[in-house]
């Protein structure tokens, strides 16, 4: 198998002997047939001893691959396909680049502190059916029932002002109480709490 190159010249050499024709009237040419590409034709010189040399320049415009090489000889007016063989087209010089990853020096890890704050949870309270006008005593006992239904510890809740206010606001909404009613209820709760009656 012959080898031709995309980046350097190759001299194709062979010996030709002709019978029945003059050697000085004989011509040789090399045909390189590339599949799915164009064919190339190169003419050579034959000396008095029958030595043939055909110069094949670098084939830069052709893709690397394989094909068929044929030597055609024309002796006076007769055409001969005297030789045929497969060939490869390659690049004589190849450069391979391999990336080398440079490792960065290790980074000294410093301890970090992350603070996560939890929002204060407001008690989830059940709605109690609306009740008609209640007097102060009824409001207080109704409020106690409301607290029990929602499983809230009234003593702890009174100590936490935000939870206590949230509880009162929700109770006010559920029972449609006005500001005066809720203030009276508040005063009664505080009074009862101080006397340890709640």
Confirm whether 125 is domain-assigned. Answer: no
**The two three-digit tokens of residue 71, written as one number:** 């030597």
Q: Residue 29: its pLDDT value, please?
A: 94
Residues 84 and 141 both lie in one domain: no
Please tell me the total count of domains within the chain. 2
**The two three-digit tokens of residue 1, written as one number:** 């198998």
When pLDDT is averaged across residues 57-68 and rounded to a whole number, the result is 92
**The two three-digit tokens of residue 159, written as one number:** 């100590």
Residues 71 and 16 both lie in one domain: yes
Domain that holds residue 158: 136-194
Confirm whether 27 is domain-assigned. Answer: yes
Residues 81 and 8 both lie in one domain: yes
Residues 78 and 16 both lie in one domain: yes
Residues 140 and 79 both lie in one domain: no
Q: How far apart are CA 134 and CA 141, in angstroms?
A: 10
Give residue 166's region: left, alpha or beta (phi > 0; psi -120 to 50): alpha
Q: Collapsing DSSP states into helix, strand and coil, what is residue 127? A: coil
Q: Residue 124: its pLDDT value, please?
A: 53
Please report, for residues 9, 118, 146, 184, the alpha-carbon distance to residue 123 in angstroms, rounded to integers and kept in the order given: 91, 15, 12, 22
Among 33, 68, 90, residue at a domain's last position? 90
- Residue 67, classified by CB atoms within 10 Å of its CB into exposed (0-12), middle (13-18) or buried (19+), is buried
Residues 39-57: pLDDT tens digits?
999 999 989 898 999 999 9
Confirm whether 121 is domain-assigned. Answer: no
* CATH number of the domain encompassing residue 37: 2.60.40.10
Confirm whether 171 is domain-assigned. Answer: yes
Share of the chain above pLDDT 70, in %: 84
**The two three-digit tokens of residue 13, written as one number:** 């050499």
Residues 78 and 142 both lie in one domain: no
Q: Where are the alpha helices (DSSP H) in the chain?
A: 136-149, 154-159, 161-175, 179-194
Residues 70 and 141 both lie in one domain: no
Confirm whether 32 is domain-assigned. Answer: yes
Q: What angle do CA 158, 144, 125 make, to 5 degrees?
A: 75
130: pLDDT confidence band, cut at 50, 70 and 90? very low
Please give the full DSSP string across 85-113, using - where no structure is assigned.
EEEEEE-SS-------PPPPPPPPPPP--
Instruction: Indicate whether 190 pLDDT > 70.
Output: yes
Residues 24 and 86 both lie in one domain: yes
Confirm whether 127 is domain-assigned. Answer: no
Residues 15 and 84 both lie in one domain: yes
Confirm whether 111 is domain-assigned. Answer: no
pTM of the entire predicted model: 0.46
> End-to-end alpha-carbon separation of the chain, Å?
108
**The two three-digit tokens of residue 77, written as one number:** 């007016």
132: pLDDT confidence band, cut at 50, 70 and 90? very low
Most confident of 52-61, 74-83, 142-151, 160-169: 52-61
Confirm whether 16 is domain-assigned. Answer: yes
């Amino acid at each position: 198998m012959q080898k031709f190159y995309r980046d350097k010249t190759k001299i194709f050499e062979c010996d030709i002997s002709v019978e029945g024709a003059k050697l000085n009237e004989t011509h040789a040419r090399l045909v390189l047939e590339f599949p799915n590409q164009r064919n190339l034709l190169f003419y050579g010189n034959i000396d008095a001893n029958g030595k043939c040399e055909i110069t094949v320049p670098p084939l830069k415009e052709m893709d690397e691959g394989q094909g068929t090489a044929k030597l055609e000889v024309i002796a006076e007016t007769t055409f001969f396909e005297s030789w045929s063989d497969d060939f490869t087209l390659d690049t004589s010089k190849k450069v391979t680049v391999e990336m080398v990853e440079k490792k960065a020096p290790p980074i000294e890890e410093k301890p970090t502190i992350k603070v996560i704050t939890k929002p204060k949870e407001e008690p989830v309270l059940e709605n109690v059916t609306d009740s008609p006008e209640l007097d102060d005593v009824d409001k207080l006992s109704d409020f106690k029932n409301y607290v029990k239904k929602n499983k809230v510890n009234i003593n702890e809740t009174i100590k936490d002002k935000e939870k206590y206010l949230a509880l009162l606001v929700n109770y006010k909404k559920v029972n449609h109480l006005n500001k005066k009613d809720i203030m009276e209820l508040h005063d009664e709760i505080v009074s009862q709490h101080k006397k340890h009656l709640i």
